[in-house]
Structure 1
């Protein structure tokens, strides 16, 4: 049992994929880790297998590992970070930072063909060097694609859409959007 706000549930050493939902009160079958009771836990770090990680209605940090993971934020302002696999990452209400890159093992790792969906807030969706699909929603979001063959889809809000000079498919949505195209790296544009 893990108790107290600000703590992290870590599943680095689990021998198979886990399913963790921070909105569940009481014991839950996390599959690969058995039965866990998580109380007032805000953050989850997934393991090296295919995980399904879901946040609560509070602000969460959820980071996946190396496999093909599913990450779901809920209300509030979440930080959702994908890993090396082909991940599906979905924000919800709130102004989320959604990043399709791994930070769980040191320097940023940009890989995996990810699907990143923002929610109704003003989300910042950041892709990776692989071929990602970044989707905005009703908020005034930011979509940033990097070196891969990116698909960037803005939503109904007024979005800032930034794409690399590589293969890019762009659908700005119905808002008053701003588009920028230049060579990007993880520090920002190359001038």
Structure 2
């Protein structure tokens, strides 16, 4: 979501992500966005974006379009949008939400929470004790190698040995 305000030299667009002002923001087109090693708030907005949060405890809103989000170290919160997104939490205790579309959600070595939302989603917890919630449609959940995984609203459930 964006809000517009009039600056001294014309309109200024301020992007937000979950009510927070974005420190990195995309455009209506296809963007490549990179965060920093610190905490970032990243808003992809429209377009088919590629977003890399890098380190820090980031908050990422992919926005409209078919987006790819990667996040490295840190305990991140990643939110997809209405497109078919690929969202990878990386290491840390991440919360990854696909929202609309047929999404691929990937956890990492931390204890992650993956929420598919609407659409036919694929959730892969990988290592760590993960919580996988496929959402309302036919979803596939693979807890990975963690021994304490839990899966809800998943039509196909597996665990990688």
- 2:52 corresponds in structure 1 to 45
Superimposed CA distance per residue, residues 85-111 of structure 1 (whole angstroms, 9 cap, x where no aligned partner): 00000011100000113xxxxxxxxx1
Residue 120 (str. 1) matches residue 113 (str. 2): no
CA RMSD of aligned residues (A): 2.0
- Tell me how far 1:2 sits from its aligned partner: 6.5
TM alignment of 1:14-33, pairs within 5 A: 14-23=36-45
Distance 1:2 1:117, change over 3 A: closer
- Tell me how far 1:65 sits from its aligned partner: 1.4
- Tell me how far 1:162 sits from its aligned partner: 1.1
- 1:8 corresponds in structure 2 to 32
- 1:97 corresponds in structure 2 to 104
Residue 83 (str. 1) matches residue 90 (str. 2): yes
- 2:13 corresponds in structure 1 to none
Normalised by the length of structure 2, the TM-score is 0.77
Q: Matches of 1:40 and 1:139 in 2, distance apart?
A: 25
- Tell me how far 1:119 sits from its aligned partner: 1.0
Normalised by the length of structure 1, the TM-score is 0.66
Distance 1:132 1:2, change over 3 A: closer
TM alignment of 1:98-177, pairs within 5 A: 98-101=105-108, 111-148=109-146, 149-154=148-153, 159-163=155-159
Distance 1:130 1:124, change over 3 A: same
- 2:64 corresponds in structure 1 to 57
Secondary structure of the corresponding residue to residue 92 of structure 1: coil
Count of residues in correspondence between the two structures: 136
Secondary structure of the corresponding residue to residue 42 of structure 2: strand
Q: Quick check: 1:4–1:41 contact (8 Å CA) kept in 2?
A: no
